Structure 1
Amino acid sequence: MLKQFDTNIPNIFTVSDGTGETAISIVRAVRVQFDHADIHIERFNKIRRREMLEEILLNARNKKATVVATLVDPELRIFLISRSMQLGVKVVDVLFPLMETVSEQLGRRPSAIPGLLRQLDEGYFKRISAIEYTVRHDDGIISSDLSEADIILIGVSRTSKTPLSMYLGHKGYKVANIPLVPGIDPPKELEKVDQNKIIALIIDPTRLAEIRVARIEALGTDNIGDYADIEKIFEELEWSREVFKRNKRWPVLDVTGKALEENSVEIEKIILTRFPDLADE
């Protein structure tokens, strides 16, 4: 009997003849843009034979999955595209369009060696370490190594702390984010770290109310309570501003109406001005 899958949750297969890190990073970057929506990801790496691709594609058809491919072997790529069309499986070929463009500009063909990026990219392990650190320090998870953070974000709930942290983490920064809870002072551990690493996030109260209402609805409840009450939000944001005023070295970034990339650029500018050595790592 075939296993039943939740058809409301998108299925994505990442397929690579190397480590698969590139495909996974791309899928995660896209997922961040949808507020970490539920997406079921299955990873298939070191794919070197057509038979392996055939089995993956049949599985993808069964699960109605989209295949995100980073195959550098041209024969495997051609088989993947042609066979997926026969089976009606959607494939996103990540590397091929850019490789072809660069190939035309350079006037030569790519080496097509799986895993070459990992071998050449000196920042690979740094980024993996940063991502692992950022995940461990999401949403106020404090540990003894908070001082190792490159960036610490602080703000009330739903001010884009987690999406910004994950985005910056994938760029190689170790990021911790701390939620501010009305009436409760920031954790004492923050007093022990370099205050120049801390960036405060603020947002327009009306926009914050909209975001929180949408979040509540996504959870399948209509019990808004104080969490999305506009008057309570005004009070909460005013209280957070008072906290920020007591900490003069915390720059305050207004995230209202700006894209994730735009806010991350502003954060990077602040941090690299204060810690220029980070740009050289």
Structure 2
Amino acid sequence: MAGRRVFHLHLVSDATGETLNAVARAACAQYEDVRAIEHVYALVRGPKQLERALGEIEEAPGMVMFTMVNDDLRAKLEKRCLELEVPCISVLDPAINALGSYLGREISHKPGGQHIMDQEYFDRIAALNFTMAHDDGQSPGDLDEADVILVGVSRTSKTPTCIYLANRGIKAANIPLVPDIPLPAELETAKKPLIIGLVANPERLIQIRRNRLLSLNEKTETDYVDRAAVAAEVAHARKLYSRNGWPVIDVTRRSIEETAAAVLNLYTRKENA
């Protein structure tokens, strides 16, 4: 893009950096005419790791965003950034300070506290194992143990959405809608899971499917990418969802994260009903 500004963005974290990276990318996404060259430094918990980060910041000056709870390391990072005249921002301070003020508590100063191996952590592992075992219609015998079941035609992002949900502790299975192949009987008898139908615009599906075939070096034209056949698949899917009273999510213009967020909203509503 002509006139696009490119800048260096240094992300310094004493944990995995997952939170920091998400915040930084969300902020950068609001500016269409810029591109950040990301420099990521995770698990910065001692002077040696910090010195490496500071050396790179000095070589390629740019905005610094960090999540660090060690006061000495924070002070050293902020002091050096001030000397280099580059902005240095603690992205979690506003939220942590507001929460501490509201609760009347002091922070623990424990890096990566959200990643402790507690019951919630093991629940996420169990959810991920369940999801991988029930991908693409596998192991239908215990579908009723799922929290969420996603149903959809090929290339409606069922698998990546389920994996994202599993990382949030949701046991998610997915069932493909394939022409002339019946759905597993267990899907009709499942009572516990929230069953959601995924759809997409036929033109978008054809585009994604063509790219998939190209990646497999498959050039033969089939019903898989035929306009009329794909439109019929989508129409059949919509009728199926309507007949069963399943909520529908159109994934045409949604990212995986947005689709998962919509699923979580429906799941929370069901659980609270």
TM-score (norm 2): 0.62
- Pick which of 75-84 and 145-154 moved more: 75-84
Give the direction of change, closer, same or farther, for the CA distance of 1:135–1:24 in structure 2 (3 Å limit): farther
Other-structure match for 2:134 = 137
Per-residue deviation, 1:191: 4.0
Other-structure match for 1:271 = 267
| Alignment-mate amino acid for residue 130 of structure 1 | A
Per-residue deviation, 1:153: 0.2
CA distance in 1, matches of 2:262, 2:91: 28
Q: How does 1:159-238 map to 2 (within 5 A)?
A: 159-194=156-191, 197-213=194-210, 215-216=211-212, 219=215, 223=219, 225-226=221-222, 227-238=224-235
Per-residue deviation, 1:48: 3.4
Other-structure match for 2:249 = 253
| Alignment-mate amino acid for residue 244 of structure 2 | K
Structure 1: unaligned runs, 5 residues or longer: 1-12, 31-41, 61-66
| Alignment-mate amino acid for residue 272 of structure 2 | P
Give the direction of change, closer, same or farther, for the CA distance of 1:83–1:132 in structure 2 (3 Å limit): farther
Q: 8 Å contact 1:152–1:175 — kept in the other structure?
A: yes
Structure 2: unaligned runs, 5 residues or longer: 1-9, 26-39, 58-63
Per-residue deviation, 1:116: 3.8
Per-residue deviation, 1:148: 2.0
Q: 8 Å contact 1:216–1:224 — kept in the other structure?
A: no
Q: 8 Å contact 2:165–2:172 — kept in the other structure?
A: yes
CA distance in 2, matches of 1:157, 1:190: 18
SS of the residue 1:207 aligns to = helix
Tell me how many residue pairs correspond in the alignment. 250
Query: Considering only CA atoms, is the larger Rg found in Structure 1 or Structure 2?
Result: 2
Per-residue deviation, 1:273: 4.4
SS of the residue 1:172 aligns to = coil
SS of the residue 1:239 aligns to = helix
Per-residue deviation, 1:162: 2.8
Other-structure match for 2:4 = none
Q: Percent identity?
A: 36
Other-structure match for 1:152 = 149
| Alignment-mate amino acid for residue 221 of structure 2 | G
| Alignment-mate amino acid for residue 225 of structure 1 | E
SS of the residue 2:212 aligns to = helix
SS of the residue 1:225 aligns to = coil
**RMSD (Å) for aligned C-alpha atoms:** 5.1
